[in-house]
Every structure is written in C-alpha cells, then in structure tokens.
A and B are shown apart, each in its own frame.
Chain A
Amino acid sequence: MNDAITVRNLKKEFKAYSSRSGLKGAFRDLLTRNYKIVPAVNNISFQVKQGEMVGYIGENGAGKSTTIKMLTGILTPTTGEVIVNGMNPHKDREKFVSTIGVVFGQRSQLWWDIAVQESFRLLKKVYKVSDEQYDSHMAHVIRTLDIEPLLDKPVRKLSLGQRMRCELAAALIHNPPLLFLDEPTIGLDVLVKLKIREFLKEINEKYNTTILLTTHDLSDIEALCERVVMLDEGKIIYDGALKSLKEKWGEGKEIEFQFLEDVTLNDLNRITASSEVKWEKDEKEAIFTAFAEDNDELISLLIAKVVADLKVKDINIKETSTEEIIRNIYDRGIS
C-alpha cells in the first residue's frame, strides 16, 4: 500500500527577534536587530500509510501546528523533504490541496454571514465536485453528523459544537483521501465529541481515509488512533503504537480498597509483606491504594491476601491513564 505521507529530515526554522532592554536598547534595535534562529521543527522523519489514523501529540509549542502547516502546504520547510499524496505540498499547492481536507479547530472554514448550505455549495464549486458525487457522498455525511437542521442557518448563529460538525462536513465535500484535524474537539461537550469520533471512524472505514489528528484531549487519541507520534521541542520522541507506549511507560496498577472495619496502613503492610507493594491512604475517604507492578498473578495474589484477612467493601483496579503516562514522559524525558 502507498504511503499517504512521507517526511524526511524535515526542518523549519523561524527567526525570532529579541529586543534589548531599556530606551537605549530600543534605539540600538532600530539599527541592528538581534535575532536568533529557533527551530520549530527539528529534523523529523516519519511515514503514514494510506488508511492509518495517527495521533500527533505534544505540548503547546512543540511544533505540532508547524508540522501540520508544512504538510498542508501553508508553510514552506526550511530544509527536508515532504511528500503528501505523492506531491510536494508547497510546490503544486493548488493541485495538491484538492486532495486533502483540513479542519483547524480554532479557525473557521465557513463563511460567517451565509447559510451553511450556501457555504457548502460554494466549496463544492471551488473543489469542482460534481452533483452526483456531492449528493451521494454528502447526504451520508450530513446524516451521520446530524446537521440537516442547521443547513439553512448562517454560521454566526451556530453554537461551537454545531459549527464544528459543519466544519468537518465542509472539509469532506471533495471526499479527500487524507484529512488533517488540528484540535477538532477543542471546547466541545462530551456528546459532540463522541459523535465526531464515531463519524471519523466511519469515514476511515468506509473510504479508507487517512487521518492525522492533533489534540490535547488524549481520550480522542485513545478512541481513534492506534499509532501516536509524540513531539517535544521540535523532535519526535516517540513514534509507535499507543498500546506499547502504555506497556513501556505505564507504571503498574493501582488497586483501591475500602474496608468495612477500621484498618491501618501497618495492618496492610503486614498482610502483604511477602509481595512488593506500596500502600497509601487517602485520609478523607478512607480509601487505601496499593501500587503494584502490572503483573496479573501478583495482583490476584495481593487481592486474595487482603480479602482473606479483612472485610472488604469495595475494590477498584485502575490502570495508569495515558494522560499520566504522557505527563510523566514530559516531566522526566524519555530515556
């Protein structure tokens, strides 16, 4: 199968001016300016296959948006090679962009003053989509995203969630094989998020659409993507399956106990002395948490021991969440 995106040694540098302090400094800035070259994206390489859904994550300023903008032909790379859908995005820009769909969560693609369907109609002309194509494809999109009742309203009267669904539909008018989503669920409520996720899955299955997604909401990525590319300070620090990220960086499991009787930490430590477990007590709710390695036998043994000795009210087994894993990676760095 063909690669939808190939990126090799991609680099984007920005010149950043730093101003000197004080009035004297301001005068000197007039004549000669201090600037330093800041790499926003530093030598990254990756490939995305047709039909893959990839999560592109990183902190603010890690270079996510810059990468997306280079992949969509908005920015010209400083050095390196980008091939998307077999084309060089910034060279054949006009031909290239009709093979991609783009949604920027914070920027509207639609015309503010006109009804949604008028926007769609105009975009249909812009992308040279024939009536038959439009009818067969968009009817489905409109139904799935449930935007039928919104079509005759002007965009400025829509709520954020309604607008976002319309944006998504607008990006798909020409049924592109590749879809870029830059924070598509920012500020949306849970129901809309779920609807959008479901829709993306459906599109991906039905048309084998490649989707590259950046988001701060990791639950989006967990729900959609098998693969994540993680970026930090312009460099890729992880590229692989979400599952192995969890296995590698997940820090064991947490088992929460609530007891019917009064228990102290000492009791618990005594009971489980033979295994490697760390106990903690949440004073407020009298919840005791055991931190143990992610090992099924160890955990079942641990539970058996506790249950045999004490009367238990509630047990809850928790995995380290992706969010925590990623926070840990950023805090400590990958090593």
Chain B
Amino acid sequence: MFYIAIFFQYVAQYMKTRMQYRADLFVEIFSDLLFQAVNLIFILVVFGHTELLGGWTRDEIIFIYGFFLVPYALFSSFFNIWDFNERYIVKGELDRILTRPIHSLFQIVLERMELESLFGAVTGIAVMIYAGNSLGLGITWTDPFLFFLFVIGGMLVYGGIFVLIACISFWADARTSIMPMMYNIGNYGRYPVDIYNSVIRFVLTWVLPFAFVGVYPASYFLGKEEWFLYSFLTPVIGIVFFGISILTWNSGVKRYRGAGN
C-alpha cells in the first residue's frame, strides 16, 4: 500500500515538472511516434515484396507489432536503467538511494520514469485495432483480461532482462556496451520466431525471452493455436525473470563499493 501511495506521489511530482517544459514533452512524443512509424513502414516495405513471411500475413505481423508496442511502452516508461552504470555507480548516486527507506530498485524506477512513453501504448492499441479489423478478428469478454495479463508479463520480461544487465555493474567495474545491443535483440521479439533458425528461436524463448513480449502473446489473439501454450506462459516467464532479477539486484547491492569522493 505504502509503495502504491509513494508511486502516485512521484507521478504527481513528475507531471508537475513535465508541464513546465511543454515543448520538450511534445518533441519527445513526436519523436516516439516517428520512430514507431518508421518501424511500421519497414514492415510495409517488406510485404511490398512478398505475400507471406514464414506463413504469416502482413496484417498479422502488423498486429504483433502493435501488441509489442504496449508492453514496450510500459517498459520504457518505468525501466530507464540503461544508464544505470554511469549515473548511479560511477557518479555514486546510489549512495543517496541507499539512505532512503524504500527498496532501491523501486526508487530508481520512480526517479527515472518517463511517462510520455506511455503514449506508445495508445499507438500500439490503434495499430492492433487497425490490423485486427483487416483480419476480421472478434473480441470476447476474456480478451481484455488476458491482454492485460500478457502486457504485464511482457513488461516484466523486458524489465527483468534489463535489470539483470544493470546488475552486471555491481560485479564488474568497466562499462559494458551490452545495453544498446540488448535493445537491438529486443526488436527480434516483434517478428514471428519461426522465421528464425532454431538456435535463435531457443535463445529468444528461454535465454533472452523477448519472444514473450511480442509474438507469443499476440499469437493468442490471432488464434494461432500451435502457440497457445507459449502465450499462456507469458506471465509465468515474466514473473520468473523479474523475480530472478530482483534477487540478483538485492545481492548486487550488498556488493556495491560506492564511488569515492
């Protein structure tokens, strides 16, 4: 309860600060939109050359992309830890975090949230509605609940992976360039995994389970029954990965060496 209350306190504070820099806010939302449009155009260009991609139609792939945007928007709103090493370890900001009575990771989530990224979820839903219409998909009463569950699961998968990578900083001194690479790999989850070779598929399912952010959960709504098992694994994988990342984080914080003055 306390954490929820604190969360909304931070959100309110965030909004107040953001309103002061309105121009900034619009530029950011606009650049996000542009980024999403470029990705969409890429899909359209690919399908300008072919009818099917590994047995998937254009609209199905657009639907997956639309779904992917929703958990991804949540992730990028709350897990801005890509610069964790520089900001918190090298500059020693973690010292300050650790002197406050809230879980350290939660504090970083609160401090670094970027709520304007949530706008991406709106785009995502719009894309899904468009693609769903073209595909003639119907909606049942369970769909909104499962959608919610899968989206949270996808966000936790993303969050878990990136928190684990941030944890490397507790053990290794040097900066790593794994973060940007991971953002790239994350994009693979937007496409049907059966178009990749089996090694990549295995990696995207069990090692860096980005497939659970895009294709697996979206398959449920597309009625691809061969993937249903994976669809329902989404929240489980999310909880497992996020749980592991929190445990790693907690033991990493114990090893924190601090920055010199």
Query: Could you tell me which A residues sit within 8 Å of B by CB distance?
Result: 14, 17, 65-66, 69, 72-76, 90, 93-95, 97-98, 100, 102, 104, 106-109, 111, 113-114, 118, 122, 125-128, 182-183
Docked-complex contact A127 and B257, CB < 8 angstroms: no
B173: A residues at CB distance < 8 A:
17
Chain B interface size band reads 20 to 34
Residues of B within 8 A of A128 (CB): 2
Is A125 touching B101 in the complex (CB atoms < 8 A)?
Answer: no
Q: What is the number of contacts between chain A and chain B, taking CB atoms within 8 Å?
A: 69
A97-B99, A102-B99 known; A76 and B6 CB under 8 Å?
no
Q: Please state if B101 and A98 are interface contacts (CB–CB under 8 Å).
A: yes
Q: Digitize B13-29: 1 where CB-to-A-CB distance is under 8 Å, 0 elsewhere.
A: 10011001000000000
Binds A, one of B90-98, B119-127, B212-220, B234-242: B90-98
B99 and chain A: residue at smallest CB distance: A102
3 residue pairs, one from A and one from B, having the closest CB atoms: A98-B101, A102-B99, A74-B98
Measured CB to CB, the residues of B under 8 A from A are 2, 5-6, 9-10, 13, 16-17, 20, 92-96, 98-103, 173, 254-258, 260-261
Q: Which residues of the other chain, A, contact B92 by a CB distance below 8 angstroms?
A: 107
Cα distance A301–B255 when bound, in Å? 63
Are A127 and B101 in touch, CB under 8 angstroms?
yes
User: DSSP majority for the B interface?
Assistant: helix
Chain B residues with CB under 8 Å of A108's CB are 96
A72 touches B17 (CB 8 A): no
| In the complex, chain B residues whose CB is within 8 Å of the CB of A114 | 13, 16-17
* B102 and A126 form a contact (CB under 8 A): yes
User: Nearest chain A CB to B47's CB is how many angstroms away?
Assistant: 45
B255 contacts A76, CB within 8 Å? yes
Are A74 and B99 interface neighbours, CB within 8 A?
Answer: yes
Q: When the two chains form their complex, are residues A94 and B96 in contact, meaning their CB atoms are under 8 A apart?
A: no
Q: How far is it, in angstroms, between the C-alpha of A102 and the C-alpha of B99 when the chains are bound?
A: 7
Give Cα distance in the complex from A75 to B261, angstroms.
14
Contact between A109 and B96, CB atoms less than 8 A apart = yes
Given contacts A14-B257, A108-B96, 17 further A-B contacts (CB under 8 A): A69-B95, A74-B99, A74-B256, A90-B254, A94-B102, A94-B103, A95-B101, A97-B98, A109-B99, A111-B13, A113-B17, A114-B16, A125-B5, A125-B9, A126-B6, A126-B102, A128-B2
Contact B9 A74 (CB under 8 A): no
CA gap between A109 and B16 in the complex, in Å: 19
Q: Which chain A residues lie closer than 8 Å to B103 at the CB level?
A: 94
A75-B257 contact given A104-B95, A122-B9, A126-B6, CB 8 Å threshold? yes
Residues of chain A within 8 A of B94, CB atoms compared: 74
Task: Looking at the assembled complex, report how far the CB atom of B251 sits from the nearest CB atom of chain A, in whole angstroms.
Answer: 10
Q: What residue of chain B has the Cβ atom nearest to residue A14's Cβ?
A: B257
Contact assessment for A106 and B261 in the assembled complex, using a CB-CB cutoff below 8 Å: yes
Known: A65-B260, A75-B258, A76-B255. A126 touches B100 (CB 8 A): yes
Closest A residue to B95 by beta carbon equals A74
For residue B6, give the distance in angstroms from its CB to the closest CB of chain A. 6
The complex places the Cα of A308 from the Cα of B101 at a distance, in Å, of 70
* A296→B102 CA distance, assembly (Å): 58
Q: Are B10 and A122 in contact (CB under 8 A)?
A: yes
B residues near A113, Cβ cutoff 8 Å? 17, 20
Contacts of A122 in B (CB 8 A): 9-10, 13
Q: In the complex, which of the residues B5, B99, B103 has the most CB atoms of chain A within 10 Å of its own CB atom?
A: B99
Contacts of A182 in B (CB 8 A): 261
A163 to chain B, nearest CB (A): 14
**Given known A-B contacts A114-B13, A122-B13, A128-B2, A104 and B96 have beta carbons under 8 A apart:** yes
**Nearest-neighbor residue (CB-CB) of A114 within chain B:** B17
Query: How far is A226 from B256 in the complex, measured between Cα atoms in Å?
Result: 34
CB pair B99–A72 under 8 Å, yes or no, is yes
Give complex CA distance A95, B2 in Å: 14
Residues of B within 8 A of A66 (CB): 258
Q: A75 and B256 in contact (CB under 8 A), knowing A65-B261, A107-B92?
A: yes
